[in-house]
Amino acid sequence: MLSYFSRTERLIATLLVAIVLVYIGWRAISSPEQAMQFGFNGLSVGAIYALMAIGFTLVYSTVWFFDLYYGAAAALGAYSVFYLRSQEWLGGQYQVNTPVVNIILAMVVAGVAAWVIHTAFYGRLREKVDPTVLRIVGGAVAMAIGAYTGLVLTFPSHLHVTFGPVAAVVIGIAAMWGIKYLFDRVSGGRGLQAGLVIGVLVGWALAVSLSLVFVMSPGSKLYLSWAVSCLLAGTVGLALYRGLYVRMRQRSRSPLIMLVASLGILLALTACISIVFQSAPRPLPDPFGSVPWTIGGANIKGFNFFAIGVAIVGFLALFSVLKWTSFGRAVRAIGDDEEVARVVGINTTVIVAIVFFVGTAFAAMAGILSGHDTAIQPRMGLLLLLKGWIASVVGGIGNLYGAILGGFVLGLIEQFAIWDLAGEWKDVVAFGLLILFLSFWPQGLLPRK
């Protein structure tokens, strides 16, 4: 009986795939220009789904529960860009920048900074320095970071001056450590000092040059607001993990309770966004590449190429970190067995906090790219969350390869499915695809090993 059902399932799967391929092939032959248009639209939308699925997969495969704040992070990323740019872009007609929001976000950033400083330095220095002095200094630094965040948010029209140099320094430091790591890998540890010297020189030159470019280019404010938005969404995600999820995981150990708690956070933040920004859809400023090109009869935007590139580069960067760094090994160990990882000396709280930060930053970037393509609305995060989850299931839940594959597959199937239907059918097709995969291929296209 089992073999009969297995053969039946394989037959149904083969027929479904054959029907889809025949339909797409027939449509592509009958109208190649339109097929190119739908194909490109599918890839550009699929890139957003892939970003959602990548971050979702990273978090889920580490802590093994569905964090629904992830959807709110996407909306928070998009609305943060609107918050920082609307006053200047709309000529002061939409006054959304309020001191209350700035103070709340500054306090959240200060609290997270205090925890990071305490975790990074307190255990190492408490034997050498008076603990009271460490707390005072750490608190002062955290308060300074929070005050700086409030300054950036209060004066968004000067973002290229207040945040541009800081972003340039961070990029320079990242370049320095990246060069040092590459030299270490290539030379087997023998070229460490040379790599450090070259990395410092390149990083310093990059930081100085980018600082000048940002300060002298007011047009960079929109793209700097992307970085600020991702950092804010990631910081809020880290604060929720550290302030709420850790305690709940220690007390309940129930994925259902964690799911309900994160659902409450999603709904609460969605309501807050509606209160601050109102529920009407809002457009984001036009980024670069908004003027479409005509290629092969299809209208293609350069910004959509950029979105596809962001998804691919984000996947490659995260894959490299997880595969070839000690942090990646720690993440995989926690995903396999958190208790054993803790026993062997891995600081699971810190590693999982970084995972939450990175995952929600991916979600925020997906929300930003989606917001530049279509109007933003408070409930956009829920739909993007569901599409990211569907993409994860299609690709293979818990598998990073499957996340990016599932995102692009979902985007393409959605677009080609509405060739002869109204656009409102996209969601029906997406959830129908979810049901099919849960019924016949629950492990997805690339099952997690």
Structure confidence at residue 360 as a pLDDT band (50, 70, 90): very high
In angstroms, how far is CA 271 from the centroid of its own chain? 21
Summarised one tens digit per residue, pLDDT across range 91-113 is: 555 667 788 888 999 999 999 99
- Percent over 70 (pLDDT), the chain: 90
When comparing pLDDT for 259 and 8, which is higher? 259
Q: Is residue 23 part of a domain?
A: yes
Model pLDDT, residue 2: 43
Lowest mean pLDDT among 212-226, 242-256, 349-363: 242-256
Per-residue DSSP letter, 67: -
DSSP characters for 251-264?
A: HT--HHHHHHHHHH
Label residue 3 left, alpha or beta by phi (over 0 means left) and psi (-120 to 50 means alpha): alpha
Q: Is residue 35 part of a domain?
A: yes
Instruction: Give the SS3 label for residue 64.
Output: coil
**What would the mean pLDDT of 79-97 be, rounded to a whole number?**
74
- Percent over 90 (pLDDT), the chain: 20
Lowest mean pLDDT among 162-171, 225-234, 343-352, 377-386: 343-352
| Burial zone of 299 (CB within 10 Å; 0-12 exposed, 13-18 middle, 19+ buried) | middle
Number of residues in the chain: 449
Q: Domain of residue 43: give its range.
A: 1-64+260-276+299-449
**In the predicted model, is pLDDT for residue 269 greater than 80?**
yes
**What would the mean pLDDT of 345-372 be, rounded to a whole number?**
89
Model pLDDT, residue 369: 93
Model pLDDT, residue 227: 93
Secondary structure of 294-324 in the HEC alphabet?
EECCEEEEHHHHHHHHHHHHHHHHHHHHHHH
Report how many domains make up the chain.
1
Q: Which amino acid is at 348?
A: T
Structure confidence at residue 157 as a pLDDT band (50, 70, 90): confident
**In the predicted model, is pLDDT for residue 145 greater than 90?**
yes
Per-residue DSSP letter, 130: -
Q: Which amino acid is at 129?
A: V
Q: Is residue 204 part of a domain?
A: no
Q: Which amino acid is at 209?
A: S
**What would the mean pLDDT of 50-64 be, rounded to a whole number?**
88
Model pLDDT, residue 151: 92
Residue for token pair 């190119």 = 36
| Burial zone of 372 (CB within 10 Å; 0-12 exposed, 13-18 middle, 19+ buried) | buried
When comparing pLDDT for 118 and 368, which is higher? 368
Structure confidence at residue 33 as a pLDDT band (50, 70, 90): confident
Structure confidence at residue 118 as a pLDDT band (50, 70, 90): confident
Q: Is residue 209 part of a domain?
A: no
**In the predicted model, is pLDDT for residue 374 greater than 80?**
yes
Q: Is residue 239 part of a domain?
A: no
Summarised one tens digit per residue, pLDDT across range 299-327 is: 888 888 899 999 999 999 898 888 888 88
- Residues 369, 47: contact at Cβ < 8 Å? yes
Summarised one tens digit per residue, pLDDT across range 396-448 is: 888 888 889 999 999 988 888 877 777 678 888 888 888 888 877 778 787 77
**In the predicted model, is pLDDT for residue 155 greater than 70?**
yes
**What would the mean pLDDT of 375-391 be, rounded to a whole number?**
89
Cα–Cα dist 187/2, whole Å? 55
Model pLDDT, residue 4: 46
Mean of the per-residue pLDDT values for the chain?
83
- Residues 203, 175: contact at Cβ < 8 Å? yes
Neighbours of 434 (CB within 10 A): 18
Q: Is residue 282 part of a domain?
A: no
Structure confidence at residue 123 as a pLDDT band (50, 70, 90): low
Model pLDDT, residue 309: 92
Q: Is residue 29 part of a domain?
A: yes
Q: Is residue 136 part of a domain?
A: no
